[in-house]
Each structure stands twice: as C-alpha cells, then as structure tokens.
Chain A
Amino acid sequence: MSDALRRLEILMGDTLQILDHMKVNSVHNDILRTIKHSIKEQNNKVEALSKHTGEQRIQSAVSMTKQLHAINTKVQQLETQLMEEYKQATGNQIESYEQMAFEEQVEQKETYHNKIDYLSATKIQENINRMNEVLYSIISSS
C-alpha cells in the first residue's frame, strides 16, 4: 500500500477514535451514528482503492471525495448544533468559560462535555478535509 493510502487509513482510524469518544445528547445520536457508519464505509474502500490502477483508481478516488464531502456536510450540521448547545450551556459566555481554570471547567460537567463534543466535531471536519487532500494527490498523480 502506498504512503498516501496508508495516510488515508490512519486519518480514518483516528477520526473513528474521536467519534467513539463523543458523548452527545440523545437528539444527535442518529446523525453521529450515520457519520460513524459512513466513515467506516469509506475506510473499507481504501483497501479496494489500493488494488485499482489508472482510470479506475481515479474514478474510485473521485467517488470517495464526493462521499467525504457529503459526510462533511453532516459533520458541519452537527458542529453547528453542538456549538449552539455549548453557547447556551455557558449562558452565551464561551470566552469567560474558557478563561476559567481547567478544574473549574471540569466541575461544570455538562458544559465541559458540550465543549469537548464541539471541539471533536471541529477536528473531524479538519480530518475529512485532510482525507480529501490525500485523495486529490492520488487523483493528480494517477
């Protein structure tokens, strides 16, 4: 397997690890489950991509970028909702909350969870963008 494909697998595995640690409110369970399932699906396609060459490889990579964009749209929706919850939990005072000492932040258990889930969603978007960059490099070098 090439370095690019190995990198893609690592990014997907790391993203799944972040998703596994998220403890969102039950209203977000469906979207979280869908995102997780979709990332797993893409992860399963990496092995197949490693066996493709030429035009077939380009088509597979293009298809994966399209699906990753669709997943990222869902992650953005989730991030917006989580940001709103975090904002509400702090009484619209996110900056003041984040200026508190770590121990004080943790004491406000629910708010702290909101913060971690929001930051997790942000990181997942970042990782999906990185996955797409890897796929673009595969497309341009095929």
Chain B
Amino acid sequence: MAFVITSPCMQEKAADCVDVCPVDCIAKGEDQYYIDPDICIDCGACEAVCPVAAIYYEEDVPEVEEKFIQKAIDFFKNN
C-alpha cells in the first residue's frame, strides 16, 4: 500500500510533497508528481501538506481517480 497523487496535482504541481517526503519517493513527471509505491512508507506527510488535496491513501482513492494508481505504477516502470 502507498499514497497516490491524483488529478488535482495536474493543474497545480506545487511540489510541497517532495520537500517533506522522508524517503525521497516522489518524482516529477511531465504532467504531475508521482509517488513510488515500492518506496513510500505510508507516513502521510505528503497528504498533510498537499495544497490541493490531491493525495490519498491507496485504499481511499475516490473511484473516479483510481486510474492514477496504475498511472503511478506505469510511470516508475517506464522511468
């Protein structure tokens, strides 16, 4: 399980999450930031500081945003 960044990040890309992540597991993509699910330790720091509430614990991702779970997996597979 890990935290997942969803669509509100695409308009914002504030990167506050990057600064607080204690294991450096957040990477910048072309259209949004991504959390590496293999490195994320589930501390929730990113969720707490996101100014647009784009970050959810994987189990709590709203149905309409679920595609972002796979999008993050694919991002780290290809980068």
A: residues with CB less than 8 A from B are: 10-11, 14, 17-18, 21, 101-102, 115-116, 119-120, 122-123, 127, 130
A interface secondary structure, majority: helix
Interface of B is mostly: loop
Is residue B64 contacting chain A, with contact meaning CB distance below 8 A? no
B43 within 8 A of partner (CB): yes
B23:A102 contact, CB within 8 angstroms? no
A120 engages B41 (CB within 8 Å): yes
Given A17-B23, A18-B23, A21-B22, A116 contacting B38 (CB threshold 8 A): no
Interchain pairs with CB closer than 8 A, number? 39
Known: A10-B38, A115-B43. A102 touches B24 (CB 8 A): no
Residues of chain B touching chain A, judged by Cβ–Cβ distance below 8 Å, are: 20, 22-25, 36, 38-45, 48-49, 76
Is A119 within 8 A of B45, CB to CB? Answer: no
Taking a contact as CB atoms under 8 Å apart, the answer to whether A101 and B48 are in contact is: yes
Chain B residues whose CB sits within 8 angstroms of the CB of A127 once the complex forms: 38
A102 x B48 contact (CB < 8 A): yes
**CB-CB < 8 A to A17: which residues of B?**
23-25, 39
Chosen A-B contacts, 24 in total, with CB atoms closer than 8 Å, are A11-B38, A14-B36, A17-B23, A17-B24, A18-B23, A18-B39, A18-B41, A21-B22, A101-B48, A102-B44, A102-B45, A102-B48, A102-B49, A115-B43, A116-B22, A116-B23, A116-B41, A119-B41, A119-B42, A120-B23, A120-B41, A123-B39, A127-B38, A130-B38
For the complex, give the distance between the alpha carbons of A115 and B44 in Å. 11
Expressed in whole angstroms, the minimum distance between the Cβ of B20 and any Cβ of chain A is: 8
Q: Which residue of A lies closest to B49 (CB)?
A: A102
